[in-house]
């Protein structure tokens, strides 16, 4: 594990950082059972976790293993000992839906990575780069406009990617959005009160380890006030309002910037099968979707130019003008069709987060991303 020791030794390091949040470890011995395999994976147990480390990525992503260990360790509390009531007793024969999956996984991911900062294994720059990547993933998931975090959690049993219709546009990754919402909830509490999400987690640990469906909101209400809790949850957990990145990160003196639509693009993911250029999926609001193209269509030509690769498609779009419809030739189920395509701007969103240069020092950021002493 390059970058630092997981145990840290003494009062510092990853395990003490987690233990400090809850006032100690609830057991004497915990084992990380690490296997090396073809992918990343982790499963939390009562007193251990089973981890799969992706062999080919171990050299390049050595700190992902730390992040994974930290995530699974936080589950020692959040899900193994702080448990949704829907899981008690756990029914292994039937689906057990709960609107709390985002809290189980998202809050765990948030603290998993924040503990790396508190333990001194990640610096502020590494943390903000991680947060930036998570935000960029979410902002490129069109499903966030339609499906709330709580509903995506409840639908977790239905969100099997391979079985979802129009998965790229429909799915809301509740791990990912849950982690971001946990971070924004923490910043909301920190900017309105002297408390933080730490106090919320501690109050749950002390008072109510079996979680009713509204338990997180109630715990936030107890720590930071009912109005703050209702407003935040109505908008960002139960609702689909755009997340207030700019406003909240600004309070921690982190500059947020979002850019998209810098060029015209097809707005579709393509793949080549047997030499044919096929549409794998179309992105909401992109040129392809507006022209009625569907996954499984073969893309033959755009504006009279034969398209056999991503590069061909990019070249054609460089020559097109916004607002001027051109013909797109496709084949669907053995029938060639010509469709009018109005070139649109690339819906892909790029995010930047920036600290330093020109920004004032922030006590809130220091407290948020403090290193345990
Ligand atoms: Zn997990």
User: Can you say whether the dihedral through the CA atoms of 55, 61, 62, 68 is positive or negative?
Assistant: negative
Q: Which residue has the higher pLDDT, 341 or 163?
A: 341
HSE-CB for 23 with a 13 A CA cutoff: 7
- Residue 287 Cα, ligand 1 centroid: separation in angstroms? 36
Q: Are the C-beta atoms of 355 and 365 separated by less than 8 Å?
A: yes
Closest CA to 317 of 272, 236, 262: 262
Cα 5 to Cα 57: distance, rounded to the nearest angstrom: 19
pLDDT for 235-285, tens place per residue?
999 999 999 999 999 999 999 999 998 899 999 999 999 999 999 999 988
pLDDT at residue 314, as a whole number:
96
Sorting pLDDT into bands at 50, 70 and 90, what band is 107? very high
Q: Which two tokens stand for residue 254?
A: 């982190």
User: Tokens 């020109």 map to which residue?
Assistant: 358
The distance from CA 287 to its chain's CA centroid, rounded to whole angstroms, is: 26
pLDDT at residue 357, as a whole number:
57
pLDDT at residue 10, as a whole number:
52
Cα 131 to Cα 111: distance, rounded to the nearest angstrom: 12
- Residue 285 Cα, ligand 1 centroid: separation in angstroms? 32
CA distances from 38 to 1, 63, 176 (A): 18, 17, 22
Residues with CB under 5 A from ligand 1 (ion): 105
- Residue 22 Cα, ligand 1 centroid: separation in angstroms? 18
Sorting pLDDT into bands at 50, 70 and 90, what band is 372? confident
- Residue 134 Cα, ligand 1 centroid: separation in angstroms? 15
- Residue 268 Cα, ligand 1 centroid: separation in angstroms? 31
Closest CA to 353 of 259, 236, 240, 242: 259
Tell me 346's DSSP state.
-
- Residue 51 Cα, ligand 1 centroid: separation in angstroms? 11
The distance from CA 19 to its chain's CA centroid, rounded to whole angstroms, is: 25
Domains annotated on the chain, with CATH: 1-81 (no CATH), 99-106+124-257+364-373 (1.10.390.10), 264-347 (2.30.42.10)
For 139-162, what is the mean pLDDT?
A: 90
129 SS3 class: helix
For 93-114, what is the mean pLDDT?
A: 96
pLDDT at 9 over 70: no
- Residue 78 Cα, ligand 1 centroid: separation in angstroms? 9
pLDDT for 74-85, tens place per residue?
999 999 999 999
Sorting pLDDT into bands at 50, 70 and 90, what band is 358? low
For 123-151, what is the mean pLDDT?
A: 95
């Amino acid at each position: 594990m390059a970058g630092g020791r997981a145990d840290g030794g003494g009062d510092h390091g990853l395990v003490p950082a987690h233990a400090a949040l809850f006032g100690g470890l609830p057991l004497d011995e915990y084992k990380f059972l690490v296997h090396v395999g073809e992918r990343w994976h982790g499963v939390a147990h009562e007193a251990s976790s089973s981890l799969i480390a992706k062999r080919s990525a171990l050299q390049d992503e050595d700190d992902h293993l730390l992040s994974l260990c930290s995530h699974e360790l936080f589950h020692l509390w959040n899900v193994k000992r702080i448990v949704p009531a829907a899981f008690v007793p756990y029914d292994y024969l039937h689906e057990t839906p709960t609107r709390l999956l985002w809290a189980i996984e998202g809050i765990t991911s948030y603290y998993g990575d924040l503990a790396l900062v508190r333990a001194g294994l990640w610096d502020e720059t590494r943390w903000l780069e991680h947060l930036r990547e998570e935000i960029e993933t979410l902002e490129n998931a069109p499903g966030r406009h339609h499906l709330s975090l709580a509903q995506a959690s409840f639908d977790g049993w239905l969100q099997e990617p391979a079985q979802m219709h129009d998965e790229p546009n429909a799915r809301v990754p509740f791990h990912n959005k849950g982690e971001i919402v946990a971070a924004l909830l923490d910043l909301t509490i920190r900017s309105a009160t002297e408390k933080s999400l730490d106090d919320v987690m501690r109050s749950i640990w002390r008072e109510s380890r079996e979680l009713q469906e509204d338990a997180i909101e109630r715990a936030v209400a107890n720590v930071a006030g009912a109005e703050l809790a209702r407003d935040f949850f109505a908008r960002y957990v139960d609702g689909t309002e755009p997340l207030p990145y700019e406003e909240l990160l600004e309070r921690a003196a982190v500059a947020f910037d979002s850019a998209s639509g810098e060029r015209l693009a097809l707005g579709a993911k393509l793949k080549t099968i047997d030499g044919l250029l096929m549409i794998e999926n179309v992105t909401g609001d992109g040129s392809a979707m507006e022209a009625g193209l569907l996954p499984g269509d073969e893309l033959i030509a755009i504006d009279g130019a034969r398209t056999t690769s991503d590069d061909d498609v990019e070249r054609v779009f460089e020559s097109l003008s916004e607002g001027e419809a051109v013909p797109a030739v496709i084949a669907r189920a053995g029938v060639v069709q010509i469709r009018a395509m109005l070139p649109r701007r690339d819906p892909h969103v790029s995010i930047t987060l920036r600290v330093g240069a020109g920004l004032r020092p922030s006590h809130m950021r220091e407290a948020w991303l403090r290193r345990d002493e």
